Chains A and B, each alone.
Chain A
């Protein structure tokens, strides 16, 4: 079965430290992978995606993600966290049987402490 796992419900990081939000997936075929962020009282916002090409994908707000095919992972990273990065982060993968359906993880709450 196709699935996305975000193993951490919450990640706590001190401001200025690097952050990683983990995502692993299980899908047949080549995955299309996405990261979205949800700030309080705002809609989900696109951060970045991997379709093909370089395994390191750069996105909005200084975030990047590394596609690792052997580990079936697509972890979100940022070299230096800001308090304003505190939000809910969702990983998603396109359903291999569809041109558009996304399968979403349950989300990871990221808390950046000053």
Chain B
């Protein structure tokens, strides 16, 4: 596709429910990032993939959060047993090679836990 695509755009989950958020990066992009953005705040780093390798997951807030990119393209961020504090916009970004180059962001998935 022409850009980074995220689905769903909006997700309402009941507390305790598991959710899966999908990211389709730009074809051929090696680097992929997940960020969490709370209302009125800047993005906060969650995790980084280089191809299929998850090189850094230090930003994942708890062991309920899990991300994968098994074939080095599509990535999924899974949140188990969602809590209200998980409500945020989850952003995915990809860049061609060097992660310090321009990153392209998806529109994000707005997760609301009720």
Chain A positions near chain B (C-beta within 8 angstroms): 4, 32, 36, 41-46, 49, 51, 90, 92, 94, 98-102, 104-107
Find out whether the CB atom of A43 lies under 8 angstroms from the CB atom of B107: yes
The residue from B40, B56, B105 contacting A101, defined by CB atoms under 8 A apart: B56
- The answer to whether residues A100 and B104 also contact, given A44-B91, A44-B93, A107-B42 and a CB cut-off of 8 A, is no
Which residues of chain B from 61 to 114 have a CB within 8 Å of any chain A CB? 91, 93, 99-100, 102-108
**Which partner residue on chain A sits nearest B4 by CB separation?**
A43
Q: What are 5 sample pairs from A and B whose C-beta atoms fall under 8 A apart? A: A43-B106, A49-B102, A100-B56, A101-B45, A107-B42
A94-B42 in contact (CB<8A): no
Residues in A with CB closer than 8 Å to B41 are: 106-107
Number of interface residues of B (CB under 8 A): 24
**A-binding residues in B (CB < 8 A):** 3-4, 31, 33, 40-45, 48, 56, 59, 91, 93, 99-100, 102-108
Smallest CB–CB gap between B23 and chain A, Å?
Answer: 11
Provide the residues of chain B in CB contact with A106, threshold 8 Å: 40-42
Cα-based distance from A46 to B56 in the complex (angstroms)? 23
With a cutoff of 8 Å between Cβ atoms, the chain A residues found around residue B4 in the complex are: 43
Give bound CA distance, A101 to B56, whole Å. 9
The answer for the CA separation of A106 and B107 in the assembled complex, in Å, is 18
Excluding A106-B41, A107-B42, 10 further A-B contacts by CB distance (< 8 Å) are A4-B42, A32-B100, A44-B43, A44-B93, A44-B105, A92-B42, A94-B100, A99-B100, A100-B31, A100-B100
- List B contacts of A43 (CB < 8 A): 3-4, 91, 104-108
